[in-house]
Each structure stands twice: as structure tokens, then as C-alpha cells.
Amino acid sequence: MREETIEPKQEEEHGTSSARPNPLRALYNWVLHWAATPYAVPALFLISAAESSFFPIPPDPLLLALCLGASRKSLRFAGICTLASVLGGMVGYAIGAGAWNVTQDWFFTYVPGVTPEAFQEVRRFYDTNGFAAIFLAGLTPIPYKVFTLASGVFSINFSVFVLASVLSRGLRFFLVAALVYHFGPAIERFINLHFNRLAICFGVLFLVGFLAIEFLL
């Protein structure tokens, strides 16, 4: 009997110790844990701002957790998230415009998604339509930080950059907040399963409308 109780325990410990830790998963859990603290709103602001230039985890999980915990404040949380994200994007733009020569090696080495190849893809996208490029990056799972930095590097019109960022980030975060506000916890599983598809669909619909207006006018 004694061996039967000890043996599984040893196997469990062995399995735990042999498993490799996932740094991104650890960061994700760290972001999410702020929802249960008194500092949830300041954390939402700071994480939203940081994700726009260098932080690898988006604020959506924390935003969703806060909205589910206080659904009547969902729109307020979305507003905070949007404001912080746009301000963070401006910081990313400033880094790209004024300090890219001395910071690019650090970004390419340590920030997931920020690569020389990604920058070349962004440049080609910008050559076609800079507003649409920034808008889709702000709304969809495409790393927004690549576009904020690249906007500064490639000297994209700052007013266009800010307008596209406000519209895309606002649509993304207010979409999550509105769904939680109207449907409550029942929508959580649906958002978790289909968020990327929802974001891409909204982005494509907006882009089609924008190009149609541009073509007609």
C-alpha cells in the first residue's frame, strides 16, 4: 500500500520537473493575475500601453477578465484600454522615428514578432495603403507593435497613424466589452474560441468598405 501511494507522486514530480517552462505562458498568467488584485485597472493601462511597442502579450485577456468581473464597467475598461494602447503606439512611433538606429538590434533579438522580415512585409503593405495597414494591425492578431515602430521608421503621416490606431484599437476593445456587457459570462467561451476570426472578419469588412469608398470617390 505504501509503495502504491508514493509511486504516482514520484511520477508526477518527475513529469513536472522534466516539463519545459513556457515563458510566454508564464507572462500570460502574470497578465491575467492582475484581475484579482486592487491594481487591475492601472495594470490594464500599463499593459495596454506596453503591448503597443514591446510587450508580447496583448491586454485582451485582462480586459475580458475585468469585464466579466464587472460587466457594467465594461465600456469604461475598453476606453482605458484604447487610450493606453494608442498612447503606447505613439511611443512606438517615436522610437521608430528617433531611436531606431540604436534600438533595432534589441527589438529584433528580444521582442517576439519584431523581425527584419516583418518590417519588409510592413513596408510593402504601407506602399499600398498605409491607413489600412495600421488599421488592420490594430484590430487583428497581427502584431500591432511592428506597425507602430515601422510607422515611425518609414515616416508615415502621424495624423493618419493616430486616426487609424484610435479606430482600430477602439473597435477591437469595445467589441469585447460590448459583447460581455450584453451577454455576460455566456459569451466568454465564444470569444476565447473565435476572437481571432471575429477580429479578422471585422477588419476585412471595414477594409472592403474603406476601399469601396476610396474607389467610388
Task: Look at residue 104 and tell me if it is in a domain.
Answer: yes
Distance of CA 79 to the CA centre of its chain: 15
d(CA 18, CA 14): 6
Task: Look at residue 124 and tell me if it is in a domain.
Answer: yes
> Computed over its alpha carbons, how large is the radius of gyration of the chain?
20
Per the structure, the complete domain to which residue 27 belongs is given by 10-216
What is the dihedral sign for C-alpha 113, 172, 165, 25? negative
Number of domains in the chain: 1
Task: Look at residue 1 and tell me if it is in a domain.
Answer: no
Task: Look at residue 4 and tell me if it is in a domain.
Answer: no
Query: What are the pLDDT digits (tens) for 145-165?
Result: 888 998 999 888 999 999 999
Contact status, residue 89 vs residue 144, Cβ threshold 8 Å: yes
147, amino acid identity = F
Q: Residue 35: what are its φ and ψ, rounded to 5°?
A: -60, -25
Q: Which of 180, 139, 131 is nearest to 158 (CA)?
A: 131
pLDDT for residue 199: 54
pLDDT for residue 77: 95
pLDDT for residue 195: 58
In the chain, which residues have pLDDT < 70? 1-25, 141, 185-217
Task: Look at residue 130 and tell me if it is in a domain.
Answer: yes
Residues of 10-34 as b/e, b for ≥16 C-beta within 10 angstroms?
eeeeeeeeeeeeeeeeeebeebeeb
Task: Look at residue 153 and tell me if it is in a domain.
Answer: yes
Query: What are the pLDDT digits (tens) for 117-150?
Result: 888 878 887 877 778 788 877 877 677 888 899 8
Task: Look at residue 3 and tell me if it is in a domain.
Answer: no
Task: Look at residue 116 and tell me if it is in a domain.
Answer: yes
Contact status, residue 35 vs residue 88, Cβ threshold 8 Å: no
Taking CA atoms, 124 is separated from 96, 107, 204, in Å, by 17, 20, 18
